[in-house]
Structure 1
């Protein structure tokens, strides 16, 4: 899976209001570093940050205005933002106001067909109703966002991770997803594990 450079997104959106003028210079930023774990699990999303710019052109007080739903991508966005230095005209224009900026994390050139979920294969649970593959909604009162890898040889999940802030809920959701089974293509049995994203729904 090849990551699209998010630097283009940073520079392009830095020219949006309230930073915009036709002749505005873009900020000088390090190339965003795509987390290896995010690539492995095929994570994508858009993180919107808000921040202020100090008199030296450095970002300060960064916060996530809208999450990508993946903590690892949100943190990578903040890390990338903090490497930026904004030109004096931008510093003067915003004058300490909160500035929005988006980081678009998208993979290209990858086989995005995940292993098929075996319906009804998850263990019975008093807390969880079912696993829904390909569902990317944020963790909420109705369910927990989950990512996992599947061994092509036998369809067993491993490396199960959740986006739940509550440690007890996170562990319970991970254990439930671990009990689910997936159907893989026998021709790919010797390939590394394939990524699956979905949500464990609460009863």
Structure 2
């Protein structure tokens, strides 16, 4: 088997999956008939893979929580469940916080999946 350089695009691929789910809260139950905030993917830039995590070939899934205002802007967000790597968690949190959302205000949880191949 041919071994490629650790930073080769052929050996490392970043696959991003964003999943939205509303938080289950009494307010969410009361507002079940209202549309939930939805990310506008055209407004998002792909978070940069932290160099140290890329070099170490770290991967994982981070679950994040955001509050969205009526203009579609996310707050700074919080990590609900770590990927196991602080650098990946922070890169996903800060990257997704820059996205714009439709149907605000409301709360969303999102997952960002970091995968090496």
- TM-score, normalised to structure 2, is 0.69
* 4+ residue runs over 3 A deviation: 24-27
CA separation in 2, counterparts of 1:3 and 1:85? Answer: 25
> Which residues of 2 match residues 56-95 of structure 1 at below 5 A?
56-87=71-102, 90-91=103-104, 95=105
Task: Report what 1:47 is aligned to.
Answer: 62
Which has more radius of gyration?
Answer: 1
Deviations 1:101-156 (A, max 9, x none): 00000011xxxxxxxxxxxxxxxxxxxxxxxxxxxxxxxxxxxxxxxxxxxxxxxx
Structure 2 gap segments, 5+ residues each: 1-10, 24-34
- State the number of aligned residues: 93
Deviations 1:182-202 (A, max 9, x none): xxxxxxxxxxxxxxxxxxxxx
Deviation at 1:51, TM superposition (A): 1.0
CA separation in 2, counterparts of 1:65 and 1:85? Answer: 20
CA separation in 2, counterparts of 1:26 and 1:42? Answer: 29
CA contact (8 A) 2:74 2:97 kept: yes
Ranked by relative contact order (alpha carbons within 8 Å, sequence separation 6 or more), the top structure is: 2
Structural RMSD (CA):
2.2
Cα distance change, pair 40–101 in 1 and its aligned pair in 2 (3 A): same
- TM-score, normalised to structure 1, is 0.42
CA separation in 2, counterparts of 1:25 and 1:99? Answer: 9
